[in-house]
Chains A and B, each alone.
Chain A
Amino acid sequence: MGPSGSLIQKAPRRRRRKLTFDYVSFMAVFLGLPLAIFLIFVISPFAQAVYYSLTDWTGFSPEMNFIGIDNYVKLFQNSTFITSMGNNILLAIIVPLVTLSIALLFATLITVGGPSHGQVRGLGASSFYRVVSFFPYVIPAIVIGILWAQIYTPSGLLNGILTSLGIDSAEGFAWLGDERTAIWATIFVIVWGFVGFYMVLFIAAIKGIPAETFEAVRIDGAGRFRTAISITIPLIRDNIQTAYIYVGIMALDAFVYMAALNPFGGPSNTTLVMSQYLFRTAFTKGQFGQASAMGVVLAVITLLFAAAVFTVNRLTGGKDDGGRS
């Protein structure tokens, strides 16, 4: 995520600057140093991972042999890895969509969804809702995972509530142990943990839209839903795009939640994610080469995901609608 700044203006032809000490030292500190840190700590480990993924390194000895793309071939013949990749892709599709839809809905209600007389405002007690829905985000992810794992146990709170409501089939039902429900129960937990934060993010963005805009819309006779679709979303488009990429990257990782809810991949590996499988391959099976290959695949998928979000945003007219940068 680079700093925002528009590069549309044609720069006039520059004359060569004199290399004064001030100029050079400024460049070195403000350009050279960050670039060096970036190269050393981001680019070079990634390049190393790519290199290791072409070797048969076990991870526990300095010896390694170059074996070309064998690891990748093996990876795509490995049904467990394909399963975990599928799970990740499912998460990347569903989690951002659901999380951000709910966050946007709440944000709208809290900022502009209030009474339709007087000035444009949110629901009553909206500051209370704002604080309460932010709570889950304050709790560390691992704690959220452990908490929900307890709620979901067959003799846990959820089944207790359901059976007291007269749903007898919930008696002793293993939410995280049943192939049909494990991944959905997990998705619910991730969404629950993130909605509050993105709601607050969207509230801040909506607050940045001048109130006159909403008043004008109301005078024109638009309802709340129409306002949200035609005004709010287009005006905070960039925030939504950024949030989408963030949640997507989180969903493609999802390691922490999975480790707490179903450390070993869940029923028939329905909740196994790539990062979990990568970790297992590296540290319990001692196949660092293979694990590096998984890491490279995961990185490529993440980049493709980000590219897809940008593309969709652009195709739906993100550029001309004058999204605020």
Chain B
Amino acid sequence: MNIENVSVNRRNILRGAVAAAVLIPFSTTLASCAAGGGGGGGGGAKGEVSADNPFGLATDTKIDAVVFDGGYGTDYAEFAAKILEKNHEGVTAKVSASTQIGQELQPRFVGGNPPDLVDNSGAGNIGFNTILDQLEDLTDVIDANNLEGDKIRDTLYGGVMEPGTFGDKFAALNYVMTIYGLWYSKSLFDENGWEAPTTWADLKDLGAKAKEQDKYLFLWGKEAATYYQTLAIGSAIKQGGDEVRLALENLEDGCWSKPAVQDVFNAMKEIIDAGYIKPGGSGTQFTQAQSQWSLDQSAILYPSGSWIENEMKDQTKDGFDMVGIPEPSVDGNGKMPAEAIHSEAGEPFIVPSQGKNVAGGKELLRVMLSKESATNFAKEKLAPPIVSGVVPEDGFGSTALVSQTNMLDAAGENVFTFRFVNLYGMNQDQLPIWNSFLDGKMSVGDLTKKLQGLTDNIRNDDSVDKIEVK
């Protein structure tokens, strides 16, 4: 360790300079080879196109699918892969699980050998604005017939195309319906004679009633503070309609200052200041916080997506009877009816154009969208896939699933969603802001200013590709 004994003199400096000069061309050649991708892929062998094989999947080929291993696992995709192998002689479909899609597939996208089908989901997903031009348009999958011979497009719920449409390209097929709303225990509400809230005023009254029972209205966990942002935006869109939605989606100047958004923020602030939110959420791990709602019932409502039932399955009190209701509107005179829901299909499946077996990727999707696979998914995961009519009356014994199907039916065409948070990877930057706001440490003015700052930064950053939402 006697580095200090190495004398620094002219000769050593010259040596270093020479070495550096030798390295420069060496490094640039290397740099150019790391990112320079091989060609490869691009369709692969073509087979006979027929009614049973609309995409011309060639015999004796391999299909390589990578599925995000999250709340829904990967077995539903394997189920479909087995059916596909039965239908196509000699084709093998391999489903691999991954919890970090972006990290694991990044080298494959750069190298030009991506999988044939990817479920681009989870916290580590790939931002769509970075790979959009490398994806197949999936309109032909929707227009194909399913295995039962019905046109797939006619079997789907409304509004399932929008989340996967970027500009004018239908690049991602989202497989699972996710409904955002407020979730509560029906048995607890019935026991106390509480009504499900439909406006923010109702929420505040409910907070007072919960206080009487020594319970809180809401609680939150640090990694999931932005669930309250989702709730706020959903409410504001119900109140202000498309004007609010498009302003936020297109990162407009002053979009967070729209009256509808401000009304919701102020209503939230009142609830926070009244002490109806369980304190300490910014230091609590989110699953732990959620179990305080589903197991200890120290709070009575939780804003989340419909994955919540599956996520908390092992930590839910017996006889909890979880049900969901749409996000409340500000005062009931909004541009959208009270039944309108914030719902979007989630788990975006994509077929990279560079894949070795594009037809195989599409064929696997077609099998997944058929009745047998879709029913299997609903039954195993207690979540509705985008294929309608596969959930029976009793929802396989799940109250939450029944309430989701009811919400979807009641909403009809009044379904909206927003995507700017995921599109531009904003969630992690927004988390600290929402943690502070829910902690009561931030005024509505500060909250608005900080959120607007993030939005403005992205809007003014030329290196980020913007996707215009109409």
Contacts and interface: CB of A to CB of B under 8 A. Distances in A.
Interface residues of A, number: 65
A2 B30 CA distance: 26
A99 interface: no
Contacts, number: 167
B110 A61 contact: yes
Interface residues of B, number: 59
Given A174-B283, A174-B284, A325-B2, A52 B31 contact: yes
Identify the 7 closest CB pairs spanning chains A and B, nearest first. A174-B283, A177-B282, A154-B280, A47-B27, A177-B283, A286-B130, A62-B37
B109 A56 contact: no
Contact of A7 (B6, B34, B281, B292): B6
A287 B28 CA distance: 20
A242 B3 CA distance: 11
Contacts of B1: 1, 4, 238, 241-242, 325
A265 B281 contact: no
Interface stretch (A132-140, A225-233, A266-274): A266-274
A290 B463 contact: yes
Contacts of B126: 60, 286
Contacts of B112: 62
A267 B129 contact: no
A176 B428 CA distance: 16
A7 to B, nearest CB: 6
A280 B102 CA distance: 11
A284 B110 CA distance: 16
A60 B110 contact: yes
A34 to B, nearest CB: 16
A184 interface: no
B127 interface: yes
B85 interface: no
Contact of B280 (A4, A64, A172): A172
The prevalent SS among residues of A at the interface is loop
Contacts of B433: 268
B357 interface: no
A46 to B, nearest CB: 8
Interface of A: 1-2, 4-8, 39, 43-44, 47-48, 50-52, 56-62, 64, 70, 74, 80, 149-150, 152-155, 172-179, 238, 241-242, 262-269, 280, 283-287, 289-290, 310, 313-314, 318-319, 325
B59 interface: no
A150 B103 CA distance: 28
Given A6-B5, A268-B433, 7 more contacts: A43-B23, A62-B110, A263-B223, A264-B223, A264-B428, A264-B432, A283-B102
A61 B285 contact: no
B425 A284 contact: yes
A238 B127 CA distance: 48
Contacts of A172: 279-280
Contact of B130 (A61, A74, A150, A152): A61
15 contacts: A8-B5, A39-B26, A44-B26, A47-B26, A47-B28, A51-B31, A60-B109, A177-B284, A241-B1, A264-B432, A266-B432, A269-B432, A284-B102, A284-B125, A313-B4
